[in-house]
Amino acid sequence: MKKKYFLIGICLILFSCKRHSVDLENIELRKDYGISQSGDSIFFSGIRSIFFDKYLYMSNYRMNQILVLDEMGHLICTLGSEGRGPGEFVGVSHIYVSNDTIYALNEGKRCIEVYNIDGYIKTVPLYEAGIRLRNTGRFVILHNKFYFPYVTNENSIVEYNLLYESTRYFGLLDRFQTEDHTRFRNERHLLAMNEKYLIAVSHVKPVIEKYNLNGEFIAQLSYENIYPVQKRLEFVNRQKSEINSVFS
């Protein structure tokens, strides 16, 4: 049997109660084991998102499927297929797993497909709720509420309540000269912290934000002083400032 390794990253973030930079502790990541192909000789490509919760879940954007593997990389099953019918994908992007339920962002259909290990359950039509997702940031589900990175004229995050089919907007926003520039300069990934907080990680700047589930901003952390980030920022600062530039 081949020896396999899986990369486990442990990140400890200390937030202050004020909106300013704080010192970060350096943590060395250890490679535990890795998977390059499943036990059924299926090579991985086009993987857009990975989530571990009892099983290892991977969204394969190219094949429009969710792969479910055990901890040794053996394929348990695949979920979904390409198409526009119920439970079918037109670009399966990020996934989130909670209580053995799999929530998958279907980019082309602008909805969430819901599965369990036995197959398709239902579709959550975000477009009908007025949520027109235009980025591919990670999302979170807590207490029957979706939280998506979603840039508007005023905010950067949207909450969608599954029970009441209602929306609420919050999140800090940096304004730029055009709508497109504002949108992609404010894109984020969202993570859950202790099921009580949201962590928003910027795509384009070394900043992490912390919110409570009422949408209240709590703290902001800058990691611009980490050496690899400093080198990247030096490159960015050398670029010409232009409208709709990802660098400014």
pLDDT tens for the 248 residues of the chain, in order: 333 333 323 343 444 444 444 555 667 777 776 766 655 556 677 899 999 988 999 999 999 999 999 888 889 999 999 999 999 999 999 999 999 999 999 999 989 999 999 999 999 998 888 888 776 789 999 999 999 999 999 999 999 999 999 999 999 999 988 888 888 889 999 999 999 999 999 988 899 999 999 999 999 999 888 888 888 888 878 877 777 676 66
Beta bridge mates, 210: 199, 219
Q: Which residues contact 240 (CB under 8 A, 6 or more apart)?
A: none
- Distance between CA atoms of 74 and 57, rounded to whole angstroms? 12
Determine how many CB atoms are found less than 10 A away from the CB of residue 132. 9
> What tens digit of pLDDT does each residue of 52-74 get?
988 999 999 999 999 999 888 88
Phi and psi at residue 233, to the nearest 5°? -65, -35
Residue 118: strand, helix, or coil: coil
Would you state the pLDDT for residue 87? 93
Strands 101-106 and 92-98: antiparallel
204's tokens? 């384009």
- Distance between CA atoms of 106 and 88, rounded to whole angstroms? 8
The H or E element spanning position 115 is strand 111-116
pTM score, whole prediction: 0.83
Closest residue by Cα to residue 95 from 55, 66, 73:
66
- Distance between CA atoms of 152 and 147, rounded to whole angstroms? 14
- Distance between CA atoms of 43 and 41, rounded to whole angstroms? 6
Would you state the pLDDT for residue 25? 63
Exposure of 236 by Cβ count < 10 A (0-12 exposed, 13-18 middle, 19+ buried)? Answer: middle
Residue 134: strand, helix, or coil: coil
